């Protein structure tokens, strides 16, 4: 028995323990199915500037792309924490490079410097030039005052809802549709972490870099790409290099208290929590309050979702 993709995004239909909803699972199944759609992949690939496309394709043809080098010596490991900084709102120095004061994730491994250069170029373009970040409490572009939100819920994965923002002072209106279709996200060029993750995952897949979606079921999602024989953390909402292979960043700097961190591809759902925590015993303690069959229920439901 398959589950219809037209299920309403209504929590009354959910039988999982909050915050795990069937609607999330249906959404991720359908989004990751687009990662195997040649038409979608060609569409998003052509959005990338030609120079960046050529650089990445050149690196992917290089035999020593994953040659082991010292990551710290390459200049991406010398971070010293002075506070817990959310670098989605990153600052820049006078040359325009991101300044990162974060707790260093010592799990970062080594990759080819030329590959890292190409990946950095892609991520900086995506974050700074292509996408627009939508704040939780956005201000008016015209007068700078706080906007009032009117939320219209959607009824399918294709459009989860519409966030309409109004300025009571200058009457400006800002509309933000929560799309699930990657082409529409690409055309809209704005979003929160889910839209950024969905689209950037498609872009990486368009270069034949196998990429999936990861969700912590707290308040954030990101990507993982299969590079050098393992799944590597990639978060397009963060400033490079923290956006690449720093899986402990959220727990260290955002004080995350995980129960499940799940990775989604079209055909599979995987529990990857252990890759993102240094407090595994605390995670197990939180899980002990749930039914032992919870993960099995997630996987069974995910396999039942129809893509028709």
Query: Is 220 labeled as catalytic in the residue annotation?
Result: yes
Query: Is 193 labeled as catalytic in the residue annotation?
Result: yes
189: Cβ contacts below 8 Å, ≥ 6 apart: 130, 131, 132
> Closest Cα partner for 148 from 135, 129, 164?
164
Matching residue, tokens 């979608």: 40
Query: Is 80 labeled as catalytic in the residue annotation?
Result: no
Rounded-to-integer distance, Cα 300 and Cα 238, Å: 33
Rounded-to-integer distance, Cα 23 and Cα 208, Å: 28
Q: Which of 105, 235, 245, 246 is catalytic?
A: 235
> Closest Cα partner for 59 from 121, 127, 125?
121
Rounded-to-integer distance, Cα 169 and Cα 218, Å: 34
Beta strand 221-227 pairing with 173-179? unpaired
Q: Which of 193, 221, 245, 246 is catalytic?
A: 193
Q: Which of 220, 221, 233, 245 is catalytic?
A: 220
Coil, strand or helix at 98? strand
- The residues annotated with a catalytic role in the active site are 193, 220, 235
């Amino acid at each position: 028995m398959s589950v219809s993709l037209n299920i309403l995004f209504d929590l009354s239909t959910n039988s999982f323990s909050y915050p795990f909803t069937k609607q999330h699972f249906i959404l991720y199944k359908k989004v990751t199915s687009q990662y195997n759609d040649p038409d979608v992949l060609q569409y998003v690939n052509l959005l990338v500037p030609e120079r960046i496309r050529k650089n990445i394709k050149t690196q992917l043809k290089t035999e020593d792309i994953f040659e082991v080098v010292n990551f710290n010596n390459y200049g991406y490991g010398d971070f010293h924490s002075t506070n817990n900084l959310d670098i989605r709102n990153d600052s820049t120095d006078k040359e325009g490079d991101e300044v990162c004061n974060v707790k260093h994730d010592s799990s970062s491994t080594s990759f080819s410097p030329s590959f890292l250069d190409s990946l950095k170029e892609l991520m900086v373009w995506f974050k700074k030039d292509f996408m627009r970040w939508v704040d939780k409490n956005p201000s008016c572009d015209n007068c700078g005052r706080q906007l009032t939100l009117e939320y219209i819920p959607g009824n399918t994965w294709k459009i989860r809802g519409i966030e309409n923002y109004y300025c009571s002072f200058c009457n400006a209106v800002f509309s933000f549709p929560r799309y699930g279709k990657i082409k529409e996200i690409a055309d809209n060029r704005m979003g929160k972490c889910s839209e950024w993750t969905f689209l950037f995952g498609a872009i990486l897949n368009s270069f034949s870099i196998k990429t999936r979606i990861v969700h912590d079921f707290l308040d954030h999602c990101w990507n993982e790409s299969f590079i050098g024989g393992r799944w590597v953390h990639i978060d397009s909402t963060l400033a490079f290099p923290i956006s690449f292979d720093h899986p402990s960043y959220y727990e260290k700097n955002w004080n995350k208290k995980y129960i499940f961190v799940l990775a989604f591809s079209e055909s599979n759902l995987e529990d990857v929590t252990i890759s993102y925590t240094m407090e595994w015993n605390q995670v197990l303690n939180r899980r002990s309050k749930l039914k032992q069959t919870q993960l099995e229920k997630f996987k069974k439901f995910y396999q039942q979702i129809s893509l028709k």
